[in-house]
Structures are given as C-alpha cells and as structure tokens.
Amino acid sequence: MHRVIAPKILYFGTPVVLISTMNEDGSMNLAPISSVWWLDQTGVVGLGTRSQTFANMQRSKECVLSLPSVDQVAAVDRLALTTGSNPVPNYKLAMNFRHVRDKFDEAGLTALPSELVRPPRVMECPIQLEARVASIHLVGNPDDHSASVELRIVRVHADESLIDTQNRHHISPDRWRPLIMSFLGFYGLGEQIHTSRLAEVF
C-alpha cells in the first residue's frame, strides 16, 4: 500500500563530497555537499548559487572534490552551518550560519597541494578528484537559486589501501566506505548484498 506524500526534500541518499575552491583573494574555501552523481569521467554537483563555492567555481572554473569515508564524519559535521561568504547572506543568517575564513582549520582537516588545479585536496579524504568546470546550468525555478555544475575529472588520487590488488587502477568497493547523506542523516554502506551481472561484462 503506497500513499501520496509531499516531502519537502528528496535527499534519498548520496555520497558526501568536500569541495575545495579558491576565493578571489587567493585564500581557500571548503564546503560539504551531497548532491552529486557520476558518468564516465564527469561529475555533476548540485549547488546553491548564493554559496561562496558556486561564486568561486563560476569565476575560477576549477575545484577539487575530496570524498570523505565514514571515518571523516565528525570533520564534515563541523563544517555544517558555516560559509566562506562574508557577510553571511540574510537567508543563511536566519538559519544560524556563520562566516568561517579557514574551514580546513575549523574542520581539523589538512590542505594538500593539487597537481593540475589550484584548489587543494583534503589530505584525510581517501579519494581526491581534481576537476575543471565544463558547464553550468541553472535548475528549478529562479527563486530556488540552484544550479548543476558539470565537472571534468582531470586527476584521481586514491589511498593505497583502497586500490585493488589485481588491477592497480581500480578502487575496491569492498574497501571503500563512502560517507552517505540520506534525508539529512549521516550513514555508511553495508556489505555487498548480491553479485552483479553488469560487473561481469565491464
């Protein structure tokens, strides 16, 4: 038996990503998001257009996506309700957001230089993706202030412990424990539950 409902959000469960970008003055910004999906070497992120991250990506056309595992959940949560924007936009003030200039310090995370782009990687995150902005599209209604940002992944860094022992360019899904946000709660993944016929042909 199903019932028609009108949920305010449709956050059915996606990985958390920390996006680092460069501010106009050369300092760095870091923000958690969880609206993200992948296709081939492309990543698409959903962003509020009034965030510092969006302004930085629009201007500099580059970023790093650092993927936290479940082990970094406390650091991610320390970044909630913070913004690199100064002054803090009114709609965020109303939600108790505060400006934080150094979000790496706030989270207790370490900035690691990237190889192909200016924004730094997050050292503690087991997967780090250097990326360039390919396109930006506004989504929804104008007063949603939302955009999808298409990113070309130009370099992938993976923690040694996640790399498949047979194929050194593969990440082992049995070892990779992504941090998942589902309806505003933090979760991990369980064990593999079924063999995959798609995996046989790829």
Which helix (H) or strand (E) covers residue 29, if one does? strand 28-33
122 binds ligand FMN (CB under 6 A): no
Given candidates 20, 51, 69, 128, which one binds ligand FMN under the rule CB under 6 A? Answer: 51
Considering the complex, what minimum distance in angstroms separates the CB of residue 17 from ligand FMN?
8
Name the one range near ligand FMN by CB under 6 A: 42-50, 126-134, 168-176, 191-199: 42-50
Rounded to 10 degrees, what is the CA torsion of 18, 22, 26, 30? Answer: -20
- Which lies closer to ligand FMN via its Cβ, residue 101 or residue 175? 101
- Which lies closer to ligand FMN via its Cβ, residue 76 or residue 131? 76
Cα dihedral sign for 53, 181, 36, 9? negative
Name the one range near ligand FMN by CB under 6 A: 51-59, 109-117, 126-134, 190-198: 51-59
How many Å separate Cα 107 from the centre of its chain? Answer: 15
CA pair distance 69, 161, nearest whole angstrom: 12
∠ CA(189), CA(65), CA(145), 5° rounding?
95
Give every CB contact of residue 157 below 8 A, 6+ residues apart in sequence.
121, 127, 128, 129, 130
**15 preceded by cis ω (within 30°)?**
no
- Which lies closer to ligand FMN via its Cβ, residue 68 or residue 126? 68
85 binds ligand FMN (CB under 6 A): yes
Given candidates 15, 23, 43, 53, which one binds ligand FMN under the rule CB under 6 A? Answer: 53
∠ CA(116), CA(120), CA(123), 5° rounding?
115
- Which lies closer to ligand FMN via its Cβ, residue 93 or residue 196? 93
What is the size of the binding site for ligand FMN (CB under 6 A)? 20
Given candidates 20, 29, 66, 72, which one binds ligand FMN under the rule CB under 6 A? Answer: 29
32 binds ligand FMN (CB under 6 A): yes
Give every CB contact of residue 62 below 8 A, 6+ residues apart in sequence.
21, 22, 117, 118, 119, 130, 131, 132, 133
83 binds ligand FMN (CB under 6 A): yes
Considering the complex, what minimum distance in angstroms separates the CB of residue 130 from ligand FMN?
18
Q: Which residues bind ligand FMN (CB under 6 A)?
A: 16, 29, 31-35, 46-48, 51-53, 76, 80, 83-85, 97, 181
